Structure formats: C-alpha cells, structure tokens
C-alpha cells in the first residue's frame, strides 16, 4: 500500500472532527500535533519516521486512560497506511481493523474496508480480501471500482495485438540494402515470433500503427504493425545489431531508436538502470521506410531511451560517456537533450546517482524521468533546461518508465510494488496514484495513444513478451468485477 492510495488528508481529518464534535471530548493538543506531524511525514513517503509520531498518540492514551475518538480513529488509520506502505501487511491490517471498529457505516467505513481488501490481496490472502470487497461493491464509486479492478487484475479492457505472425514485407529487401563488403544483404526469413519476445512498443502519431522490437530472428529488429489490417512490415535487418526502444517523431515521418551490438540470443528488456547499462549503445534515426539511417551523435557514450519534443526538433535521452567508465564501478547515467540534426548536445542532470528514462511533457516545458534517490528509483519532473527538479513519488518499491499523457494531466509508469512489475497511473503532480494491472508475469513499457484513450505496453502474462493495448475508456464493469471476486471463493 502506498501513501498516495486512499489517503485521509486534512479534509478527512476535518470530516471526523465534524462527525465526533459536540458531546465528544475535544482533541488533546499534544496528540493532535503528533498526529499532524506523522501525517505530513507519511504524505512524503517517510513512513518509518511517521510511525513513532502516531505511536506517541497511543502511548498518551495509555497514560491518560482516554483519547478523543476522532484522534483515535485517525491514528489507527494512519498507522495502517504507513505499515502498509512499508509492506508490513499484518501490522497494517491490525490497525485498520481497529480503525474500522471506531467508525459507523458511512463513506469512510467503505474506504477502510476497501483498503483492508487491498492489503489482504497484497498479502496473498485473497479469500479474506474478497470478504471485505464483495459486500461494498454496490456502494463504490466508479473510481473505487476501478481501484479494486486494478489491484485484483486489469482495471480496463486489455487486448493483445497480433504481432507474432510473419511479416508481409521487409524494407531491407524493398530497398536492396548492401552489406559493408558491397554484397546485397541476404533476405531475412519471414518468420513469426511464436517462440520469441515482442517488446518496446510505441504508437504512431495518428494512432493507426505500432512500432516495436522483436527477437524472432535471434536479434532485436524493428517491425511496424498496421493495427486495423494486421499487416506487419520488418523495418530493419541487421543480424549482428539489436535495435529497440523505437519512438515516432511527431510528424510520423521518422523513427528514433537504440542500436546495440548483439551480445545474447535472448531479449534483454531494461526496467531499472543500475547495472543494466550496456558497454555500447547509440541512438539512431531513420525514415519510416528504413531509408536515410544515421547515428544521432558521434560522442563516445552509451545512449538510450530517446523521446521527441512536441515540435520534433529536440530529443531527450539518457547517457553515460565512455570516459567516465572505470573497472571498479558502474558510472552514473545522466539526462541530455540534443537537436535532431545532432547539434546542441546539452547535459541536464549531474548527480551522484542514476537519472534516466526521460520524456517530454506535451507542451515541451517539462521532462519526467526516474532517479535513484535514497537508494530507490523514484519518478521526478524538471523543467526542460534541467532546473526546478521536483520529486513525485515516495515509495519503497521502485517506480520506472514514466510517460506523460497527451493532455499532460496524467503519468503512466511501472512500479515494482510487492516485487511484481505492474502498470500504474497518477496525476502529473504525483497525487491520485492507482494501479492498472495485477497479472501473472510482468507488465512494462506503457505508452499513451495520441488521443490518450489507450495505453500500449508489453507483458509476458501469456508466456513470451507480447504487445497489448489497454482501453482507458472501457473500465471493467461492476458485474465483471463481482464475477472476478466470486471466482476466488469457489
């Protein structure tokens, strides 16, 4: 449980002061101060520091043999929240069940029951979770139903794209590509990916195509899928080179991507940064038909995770220069921008820890990225010149691969909550964090469609990594959610 899920912020505190006002005893000033300090710490993710403040209120209760009911509820609720955020689910459940005994049936009672259902689900006791969740479904708001759907499965309709069949065209063949020795490049076999991974997807600007990487030829090549017709085209053919992390230019005419010398016959999908930096990787750009391929920079550096600005004139990416490598330790990744013509390379971050996976906001004025803060990967935002850095997440789990929605109001990302890589979404200020998937396997690399109505992502929920879309306009219905929960009890 994370601190941004189901928080009782000041409005909630005032609600309880109202509910328990009148004949009830007034809050103890010292206890209220300790509670407020704990809440402030919990809301910025400092749960270990918050717990002693909450516990102080309970100690005062033991010494004074009495405590205002409002304060008593809030302290139990927040102890449950903080222990849950730290993954200490038995403690969290104990305090939240105590809180439940202190409140009558009302919207707050429903919120506590929902949170208990979530904690039991994360703890692995799904039957106990369902006993809390099923009785409250009829009273839940649409947002609450979406939250339950997200931590018990998929929150929205998910469809697997047909990427695994053999391509109908190969741009290397059509363009008659020649090798370094002047001979014509041999035609690649047109094979499917039934026994290989498809990953790194991205929508085209018109939303009708998805470009992705596939390991079906024992190395990573780029393919283009026409979503409606299912036509599949192979864009690259470089047997000794891997191409991955493709992204369209805003006009849809070019694709930027990462090239790396092949070192394995299996796909390596990057989630976290530390220890995953290859010895050699560069960013290239080519036209949609595979022509005019060129390397973006000539700097001796490892460069990955390209993303275009809205005007298509700038690319932001992560990089570590080769000169900073030593035999003793992995160097820190930093974030850079560069013009699409390869000029004006500028370093935006300079920290003693990794910064990476950057992408622009729709207006081009901000960059979201992940940073290895406090020994953990967190999502941050900064201005496009590298200034005004703000931290958005405070979790003990690790958050990765952030991407702005087209309207700039949401950020989709991956979290390793409960040691399971799943898709999440939050408001662009870091609030209203909610889970979108909870499936067998991992769910990675979320990217929004141009209209913001869908996410494309990769998952191995059915074996090999495959490309899926999530329709954000089709939330799982209440009836389907009830059926999902009832199956647990059978």
Task: Enumerate the domain spans of the chain.
Answer: 10-139, 157-488
Q: By CB neighbour count within 10 A (0-12 exposed, 13-18 middle, 19+ buried), where does 291 fall?
A: exposed
Query: CA-to-CA distance for 265 and 217, rounded, in angstroms?
Result: 9
Fold of 157-488: Neuraminidase (2.120.10)
What pLDDT was estimated at residue 209?
Answer: 97
Fold of 10-139: 1.25.40
What's the pLDDT tens digit per position in 11-22? 344 344 434 444
Average pLDDT in the chain: 87
What pLDDT was estimated at residue 355?
Answer: 93
Q: Return the higher-pLDDT residue of 187 and 318.
A: 318
Of 109, 83, 103, residue with least CA distance to 3: 83
Strand boundaries in 86-230, DSSP class E: 156-160, 169-170, 198-203, 209-214, 221-226
What pLDDT was estimated at residue 427?
Answer: 97
- Per cent of the chain over pLDDT 90 is 65
What's the pLDDT tens digit per position in 252-284? 999 999 999 877 767 777 776 655 566 678 999
Q: Tell me the β-bridge partners of 258.
A: 244, 283
What pLDDT was estimated at residue 67?
Answer: 63
Query: CA-to-CA distance for 277 and 266, rounded, in angstroms?
Result: 16
Residue with tokens 């010895």: 279
Rounded to an integer, the average pLDDT of 412-427 is 93
Residue with tokens 């649409």: 142
Q: How far is CA 381 from CA 46, 344, 356, 359, in A?
A: 20, 22, 11, 10
What's the pLDDT tens digit per position in 43-89? 888 899 999 999 988 887 665 555 677 788 889 999 999 999 999 99
Under 8 Å between Cβ of 235 and 221: yes
Under 8 Å between Cβ of 405 and 448: yes
Asked if pLDDT for residue 384 goes beyond 90, the answer is yes
Query: CA-to-CA distance for 113 and 99, rounded, in angstroms?
Result: 10
Asked if pLDDT for residue 34 goes beyond 50, the answer is yes
Interhelix angle 10-19/107-123, nearest 10 degrees: 130
Query: CA-to-CA distance for 271 and 477, rounded, in angstroms?
Result: 31
Query: CA-to-CA distance for 281 and 191, rounded, in angstroms?
Result: 26
Task: Mention every residue, 6+ apart, whose C-beta is less than 8 A from residue 152.
Answer: 121, 129, 133, 438, 481, 484, 485
Query: CA-to-CA distance for 356 and 368, rounded, in angstroms?
Result: 9
What does DSSP assign to residue 135? G
Q: How many other C-beta atoms can be found within 10 angstroms of the C-beta atom of residue 102?
A: 17
Asked if pLDDT for residue 215 goes beyond 70, the answer is yes
State pTM to two decimals. 0.89
What pLDDT was estimated at residue 102?
Answer: 85
Asked if pLDDT for residue 242 goes beyond 50, the answer is yes
């Amino acid at each position: 449980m994370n601190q941004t899920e189901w928080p009782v912020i000041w409005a909630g505190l005032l609600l309880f002061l109202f509910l328990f006002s009148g004949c009830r005893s007034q809050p103890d000033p010292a206890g209220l101060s300790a509670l407020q300090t704990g809440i402030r710490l919990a809301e910025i993710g400092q749960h270990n520091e918050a717990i002693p403040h909450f516990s102080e209120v309970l100690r005062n209760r033991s010494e004074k043999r009495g405590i205002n009911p409002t304060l008593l509820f809030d302290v139990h609720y927040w102890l449950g929240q903080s222990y849950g955020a730290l993954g200490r689910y038995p403690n969290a459940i104990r305090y939240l069940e105590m809180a439940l005994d202190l409140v009558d049936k009302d919207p707050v009672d429903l919120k506590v029951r929902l949170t208990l259902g979530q904690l039991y689900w994360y703890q692995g006791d799904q039957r106990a979770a369902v006993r809390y969740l099923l009785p409250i479904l009829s009273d839940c708001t649409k947002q609450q139903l979406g939250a339950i759907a997200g931590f018990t499965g998929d929150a929205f309709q998910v469809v697997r794209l047909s990427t695994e069949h053999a391509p109908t065209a190969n741009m290397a063949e059509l363009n008659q590509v020649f090798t370094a020795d002047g001979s014509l490049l041999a035609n690649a076999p047109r094979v499917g990916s039934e026994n290989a991974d498809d990953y790194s997807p991205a929508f085209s600007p018109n939303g009708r195509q998805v470009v992705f990487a596939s390991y079906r030829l024992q190395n990573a090549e780029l393919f283009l899928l026409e979503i409606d017709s299912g036509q599949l085209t192979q864009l690259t053919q470089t047997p000794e080179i891997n191409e991955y992390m493709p992204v369209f230019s805003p006009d849809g005419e070019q694709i930027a991507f990462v090239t790396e010398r092949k070192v394995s016959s299996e796909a390596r999908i990057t989630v976290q940064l530390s220890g995953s930096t290859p010895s050699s990787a560069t960013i290239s750009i080519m036209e949609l038909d595979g022509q005019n391929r060129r390397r973006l920079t000539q700097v001796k550096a490892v460069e990955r995770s390209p993303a275009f600005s809205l005007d298509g004139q700038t690319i932001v990416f992560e990089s570590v220069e080769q000169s900073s490598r030593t035999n003793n330790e992995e160097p820190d990744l930093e974030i850079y921008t560069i013009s699409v013509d390869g000029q004006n390379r500028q370093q935006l971050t300079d920290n003693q820890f990794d910064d990476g996976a950057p992408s622009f906001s729709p207006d081009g004025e901000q960059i979201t990225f992940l940073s290895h803060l406090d020994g953990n990967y967190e999502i941050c935002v900064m201005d496009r010149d590298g200034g005004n850095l703000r931290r958005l997440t405070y979790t003990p789990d690790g958050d990765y691969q952030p991407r702005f929605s087209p309207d700039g109001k949401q950020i989709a990302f991956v979290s390793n909550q409960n040691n399971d890589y799943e898709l999440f979404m939050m408001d662009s200020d870091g609030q209203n964090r909610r889970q979108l998937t909870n499936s067998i396997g991992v769910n990675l690399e979320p990217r929004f469609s141009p209209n913001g109505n869908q996410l494309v992502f990769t998952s191995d929920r059915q074996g090999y990594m495959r490309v899926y879309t999530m329709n954000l306009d089709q939330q799982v219905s209440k009836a389907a959610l009830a059926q999902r929960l009832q199956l647990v009890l059978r």
